[in-house]
Amino acid sequence: MKHLKININILEFEGETIFKDINFTLNKNDKVAIVGSNGAGKSSLMKILTGEMKNYDGSIDNVGNLSLGYLKQIYSDNENKLVREELREAFAEIVKMEAELDNLESKMASDSQNMNLIENYTILLEQFNNIGGNDYKNQIHQVANGIGILELLDKKLTEISGGQRTKVALAKVLLESPDILFLDEPTNFIDMNSVEWLESFLQNKWKSGYVIISHDREFLDKTCDKTYEVQKGRGLTYYFSNYTGYLSERDRIEKKKMDEYKREQEYLEKQKNLINRFRAGSRAGWAKSREKSLEKREIIEAPVIQRKPKFFFSYTGETPEKLLSFKECFIGRENPLFFINELYLYRNQRIGIVGENGVGKSTFIKTILGQIKMLDGFFGKGKGLKIGYYSQMHEELDTTKTVRENFLKQKIEYPDQQLISLLNHYLFDMKFLDKKVSELSGGERSKLLFAILGQKEFNLLILDEPTNHLDYDTRESLEEALSKFSGSILFISHDRYFVNKLSTNIWFISEGELSVSYGNYEDYKFKLENNIDMDLSLWDQEAELNLVLEEKLGEKAFKRIKEKFSGGKKRK
């Protein structure tokens, strides 16, 4: 079977060991998720596997000459090239054959009796059809539509943004159909609909293998059946399950390793006490022999137990019944992006805002904050409303100032010892106090902003992509803290798992209007797929909707809904 034989003895950077002793075989049809904490070396491992990085001790043997596809940013000698032409390059052999067929057709038009031309044309046409020549334009259209770049096909590369170029690069590498596809955070720059399309494409249409790095847990669960964990300074741990299975198995293995380590330490302590006890006297020879035996013993390393950060959110203790009110509002910067007929944010609600990229989600949040003026309509805030805001671009942080200075800027004047104790909850040590924010990674900036946010009291948190840059364990800690917050939350996120776990209702923007779906993201998708009115709760003890659901969905689906929601109360 075709495969990559991977042997990485060690990868070092500036004297620091990133990882070592990695040995495994990657088969052509393997579907692997690479996971690990921020800075563990996931992207470095992928660059080694694809040949992008060479400065390591080891080797990669490509048995069977597999073609490897790696998502890269597009750079072209011809920036006036159309996006459609860039994607056509994924079918270089077909495009070349198509040009040859066009040339033969031109010759046959002026020499229709030439049997050699006709024979060559017939042979080439058969080859063209056999390699999918009649279907490649349709494939371009389907993938471009799924990724969300259909409207860009006839634009020049010079006319599209950096984010759009990355989408084009993703579409191109999918169309190239390599033997093994390597994707590093493919869901970071596409909206939920495109993520779900990519998920379905990999599940149902991709005929080969792939390796994926992603913080989207649901995406990994549905696309990968193997999970390889990178631990900084060590090797890989292999789990033959999806992401959810990996979490369960990791906890079991870590507990077992810790138990073995503790037993080993207890045994060593007893042996050392015996050796010290009999080192002098008639049993000195026995003690010396036992000491040499211990020196030869293979010592069990202490297991790596990743610390998790602790997030804190303080509640004012007072909240108006209606925090936000909207009536016949137009949202946009200069021209309307969408319309709100009538909408309220109530006490204790946790609202996830969803919609395709560009529909105006962030514009909406900045309108609520007063950073952008509402174009038209009534917008009101409840008395005593106190908003805490987290921006995905970390705009509240001054990158030219140190961590300590950023706390002072927000009028948080703690002694250094108290500040160090606080930062320790977010896995920072004392050296971070005098680091400039510009020197911090994206994940570190996110945690710093949350540390600052947690020192003030609010009754409404507004969060714009709060899970970006955060690793898996940090996201789970954030989810836990937010679920305990007694106030209301309004948030934007492309992380479906996060939206599903946190939201009580969904505000979705579609076809130029913001509407409400009662329930979490899973409920929203269920209603969408089954053509159920969004403004109805899926289960309501007091309503007649249950009869409508049973008739519409059938007995089996209705039973699932009843089991899920029958204990619930009517939701606002």
Q: How far apart are CA 143 and CA 114, in angstroms?
A: 40
Please check whether residues 332 and 415 belong to one and the same domain.
Answer: yes
Quick one: pLDDT at residue 314? 94
Residue 224 lies in a domain: yes
* pLDDT at residue number 571: 40
- Range of the structural domain that residue 5 is part of: 1-67+178-240
Give pLDDT, residue 557.
Answer: 65
pLDDT in tens, the chain (572 residues): 899 999 999 998 878 888 899 999 999 999 999 998 877 888 899 999 999 999 999 999 999 999 999 986 555 667 788 999 999 999 989 989 989 998 888 888 888 888 888 888 899 899 888 888 888 999 999 999 999 899 999 999 888 877 788 889 999 999 999 999 999 888 877 888 888 999 999 999 999 999 999 888 899 999 999 999 998 878 899 999 999 999 889 888 888 888 888 998 898 889 888 888 888 777 888 888 888 888 888 888 777 777 889 999 999 988 899 999 999 999 999 899 999 999 999 999 999 999 887 889 999 999 999 999 999 999 999 999 999 999 988 889 999 999 999 999 999 999 999 999 999 999 998 889 999 999 888 888 999 999 999 999 999 999 999 998 888 889 999 999 999 999 999 999 988 889 999 999 999 999 999 999 888 888 888 888 887 777 665 544 444 445 445 555 566 666 665 665 554 443 44
564 lies in some domain: no
Give which of 329, 333, 337 is closest to 379, Cα–Cα: 329
Question: pLDDT at position 258, please?
Answer: 87
Residue 89 is given by DSSP the state G
CATH of the domain at 478: 3.40.50.300
Q: Are strands 322-332 and 460-464 parallel, antiparallel or unpaired?
A: unpaired
User: What is the per-residue DSSP string for 130-168?
Assistant: HTTTTTHHHHHHHHHHHHT-GGGTTSBGGGS-HHHHHHH
Does one domain contain both 141 and 259?
no
Is 185 a member of any domain? yes
Question: CB neighbours (10 Å) of residue 112?
Answer: 9
Q: How confident is the model at residue 88, as a pLDDT? A: 92
Interatomic CA distance for residues 94 and 130, integer angstroms? 10
pLDDT of the residue at 284: 85
Residue at 437 is within a domain: yes
For residue 520, what are the CA distances in angstroms to 24, 89, 216, 319? 40, 42, 17, 23
Say if 552 falls within a structural domain.
no
What local confidence, expressed as pLDDT, does residue 291 receive? 85
Whose tokens are 């989600």? That residue is 361
Whether 331 and 461 map to the same domain: the answer is yes
Instruction: Tell whether 452 and 489 lie within a shared domain.
Output: yes
Residues 480 and 511 in one domain: yes
Q: Are residues 323 and 435 in the same domain?
A: yes
548 assigned to some structural domain: no
Residue-level pLDDT at 533: 75
Is residue 303 assigned to a domain?
Answer: no
Same domain, yes or no: 404 and 476: yes
What single DSSP character describes residue 489?
E
pLDDT value of position 87: 94
Domain count, the chain: 4
| 325 shares its domain with 290 | no
Considering only CA atoms, which of 305, 61, 67 is closest in space to residue 208?
A: 67
Single out the residue in 229, 263, 296 at which a domain terminates: 296
Residue type, 518: Y
- 316: number of Cβ within 10 Å: 15
What local confidence, expressed as pLDDT, does residue 570 receive?
Answer: 39
Q: Is residue 452 part of a domain?
A: yes
Q: Quick one: 3 and 147 in the same domain?
A: no
Considering only CA atoms, which of 368, 354, 364 is closest in space to residue 331? Answer: 364
Using left for φ > 0, alpha for ψ between -120 and 50, and beta otherwise, residue 213 falls in: beta
Residues 52 and 15 in one domain: yes
What is the pLDDT, as a whole number, of residue 537?
59
d(CA 472, CA 325): 35
222 and 249 share one domain: no
Residues 53, 163, 243, CA angle at the centre, nearest 5°? Answer: 60
Could you tell me if 236 and 249 lie in one domain? Answer: no
User: What pLDDT is stored for residue 558 in this prediction?
Assistant: 61
Q: Which of 506, 540, 538 is nearest to 521 (CA)?
A: 506
pLDDT score for 363 = 93
